[in-house]
Amino acid sequence: MNFDTICVVGLGYIGLPTATMFASRRKKVIGVDVNQHAVDTINRGEIHIVEPELDIAVHAAVKEGYLRATTRPEPADAFLVAVPTPFKKGADAGNIPTPDLSYIQAAADSIAPVLKKGDLVILESTSPVGATEQMAAWLAEARSDLSFPQHSGEESDIRVAHCPERVLPGRVMYELIENDRIIGGMTARCSQASAKLYKTFVRGDCITTNVRTAEMAKLTENAFRDVNIAFANELSMICDDSNIDVWELIKLANRHPRVNILQPGPGVGGHCIAVDPWFIVSGNPQKSNLIRASRNVNDYKPIWLANKIIETVGLDNPDLKICFYGASFKANIDDLRESAALIVMNKVKEKLKNPIFVVEPNLKEGGEVSGASLVEIESGKKCDVHVFLVEHEQFLGMSKPEGIVIDAKGIF
């Protein structure tokens, strides 16, 4: 089967780069987003998100006529769904957050009217196990005139698969091409068709499996990181009590050929690793004790760190100026979403009335972050207390400031 026209639903951090990759391989791509501002920006050949090398690629794809954005899906040979899957606050006794599939449902509802026999629909959004089958059920409900793999197997009119995105923000344009892809079709033919589509631009291997394994593989990758970081964060709190340098400790332990501990920090931020493990826990609350405990350790770390800062500064020193270095959820990006650094800052601000400043080289100076003034490194260094929360490249080479230094990222 040929994929001449591809419709990508959701033009965010994953959808837009993916749409652009297909367009750069001279496929006709229709990008769909409910956000009119995003649509207008892309149609001008510009981008509404920050990602290295994406701007040039989008500009070329739009100017050459291969990429066009719109707010409604149009007929295509393949549909890729790359919409958010956030979680909802837990309503059960255990307060376990549950996945919110409403964006996937809205995407399915919008695609259904333009589907035709022979089309392929791929869910790329990180999803709990069963979400792809649920999407196929929503599509089937809307289009009783077409057959779907859950009822008709290999003979179905429409093919459906899950192919989770696995690219790292900041390296998306490189990793989209080079990373291996896991492809879980609802049938073998669904997998094969999807692999053929991705081979348009993927240089990594396209490995096929079933749909539930593909869903669980993505959740497993992020849960693995979360558990490993929780181990590092737990060690950091234990070491603090025993006056042991956790950075040196991990470096030494990692000299063992079969040990590879990740790095502690102020907590785990972002919209992936701090979210996805809950998709496993909410589906299997009785059996996911380790994954759940790790989430709790990583969520507790910013609270522990804030208390440490409050204790170090003391309530009787309201004149001491405090400077936080780094506000984003990880190094060398401007993304503040679910940032552990912000949780630390806000907790400290709740308790201490001291003047507070922030150095965040990835944001424009003169602004504010959580009510604290953004300043340059040199101004920050004049403060009395220095709290390092993110290992931005600008901080790595700097000399240790004078005064009290609390270093949550092991920079010094």
By annotation, the residues acting in catalysis are 218, 272
Q: How many CB atoms lie within 10 A of CB 138?
A: 18
- Contact region with ligand SAJ (CB under 6 A), list: 57-65, 137-145, 222-230, 281-289: 222-230
Question: To the nearest whole angstrom, how small is the minimum distance from the Cβ of residue 384 to ligand SAJ?
Answer: 26
Of the candidate residues 87, 138, 329, 357, the single one contacting ligand SAJ (CB under 6 A): 329
CA–CA gap between residue 173 and residue 344 (Å, rounded): 32
Question: To the nearest whole angstrom, how small is the minimum distance from the Cβ of residue 311 to ligand SAJ?
Answer: 22
**Residue 41 vs 294, nearer CB to ligand SAJ:** 294
**Residue 49 vs 60, nearer CB to ligand SAJ:** 49
**Residue 149 vs 265, nearer CB to ligand SAJ:** 265
CA–CA gap between residue 406 and residue 412 (Å, rounded): 10
Report which of 314, 313, 331 is spatially closest to residue 322, judged by C-alpha positions: 313
Three-state DSSP state, 171: coil
CA–CA gap between residue 208 and residue 59 (Å, rounded): 33
Question: To the nearest whole angstrom, how small is the minimum distance from the Cβ of residue 298 to ligand SAJ?
Answer: 8
Paired sense of beta strands 159-162 and 120-123, if any: parallel
Consecutive H or E run containing 155: none
Of the candidate residues 210, 213, 263, 346, the single one contacting ligand SAJ (CB under 6 A): 263
Q: At what angle do helices 54-63 and 36-43 cross, to 10 degrees?
A: 70
Question: To the nearest whole angstrom, how small is the minimum distance from the Cβ of residue 179 to ligand SAJ?
Answer: 8
**Residue 43 vs 220, nearer CB to ligand SAJ:** 220
**Residue 168 vs 259, nearer CB to ligand SAJ:** 168
Instruction: Please tell me the count of residues contacting ligand SAJ according to CB under 6 A.
Output: 21
Alpha-carbon torsion, ordered 379, 385, 391, 395, to 10 deg: 40
Question: To the nearest whole angstrom, how small is the minimum distance from the Cβ of residue 232 to ligand SAJ?
Answer: 6
Number of H helices, E strands in the chain: 15, 16
**Residue 152 vs 220, nearer CB to ligand SAJ:** 220
Three-state DSSP state, 310: helix
CA–CA gap between residue 182 and residue 209 (Å, rounded): 7
- Contact region with ligand SAJ (CB under 6 A), list: 91-99, 238-246, 259-267, 380-388: 259-267
Question: To the nearest whole angstrom, how small is the minimum distance from the Cβ of residue 126 to ligand SAJ?
Answer: 5
Three-state DSSP state, 7: strand
Distance of CA 114 to the CA centre of its chain: 30
Of the candidate residues 125, 126, 132, 294, the single one contacting ligand SAJ (CB under 6 A): 126
Contact mark string toward ligand SAJ, 156..195, x via CB under 6 A: ---------xxxxx--------------------------
- Contact region with ligand SAJ (CB under 6 A), list: 78-86, 109-117, 270-278, 287-295: 270-278
Report which of 407, 97, 123, 114 is spatially closest to residue 263, judged by C-alpha positions: 407
Consecutive H or E run containing 343: helix 340-351
Binding site for ligand SAJ (CB under 6 A): 126, 165-169, 221-222, 225, 229, 262-263, 265, 268-270, 272-273, 329-330, 340
